[in-house]
Amino acid sequence: MVWLRTWIVLLALTAPALAVQPDEVLTDARLETRARALSQELRCMVCQNQSIDDSDAPLARDLRILVRERLVAGNTDREVLDFLVERYGDFVLLKPPFNMRTALLWLLPPALVGLGLAILLVGAYRHRRPVAGAGALTAEERARLEKIINN
């Protein structure tokens, strides 16, 4: 029973908290649903790894309000996203599109993983490959070894 309570508390603490304030919520349920969906796609420029829907930062609140204002004004979801990308750049999107400006963002992580794997493979190959001349001892080395063993 104690474990069950512990798990419930841990789950409650790790669940994402929505930062949307009651005064931000739109009365039109359809528009609010669209606003929430858009807010999940937009990056908090302060927190950077959170959506504006999850962030308590003042800028995230401003962006949530801006999204709702644009929806109330009659903008489509695409128009709202285009407006924010024009204003803040592709970085405002949690999943930025692949283009010339974001190519490094998309290609650098796989390139680094590939480089790391290549380094590991080369290291493993070098470790397994015998070193030339490492097998037999010279007469001088044998004499020194005999001397060390006998003393």
Q: What are the tens digits of pLDDT across the range 89-107?
A: 888 998 888 888 778 878 8
In the chain, how many domains are there? Answer: 2
Q: At what angle do helices 58-72 and 77-88 cross, to 10 degrees?
A: 140
Query: What pTM was estimated for this model as a whole?
Result: 0.58
pLDDT in tens, 46-69: 887 889 988 888 898 999 999 999
42 beta partners: 93
Banded pLDDT at 75 (limits 50, 70, 90):
very high
Domain that holds residue 33: 2-92
Q: Is the pLDDT of residue 13 over 50?
A: no
Continuous H helices in the chain: 2-14, 29-41, 58-72, 77-88, 103-128, 139-150
Does 97 fall in a domain? no
Based on the domain organization, do 72 and 110 belong to the same domain? no
pLDDT in tens, 37-51: 999 999 988 887 889
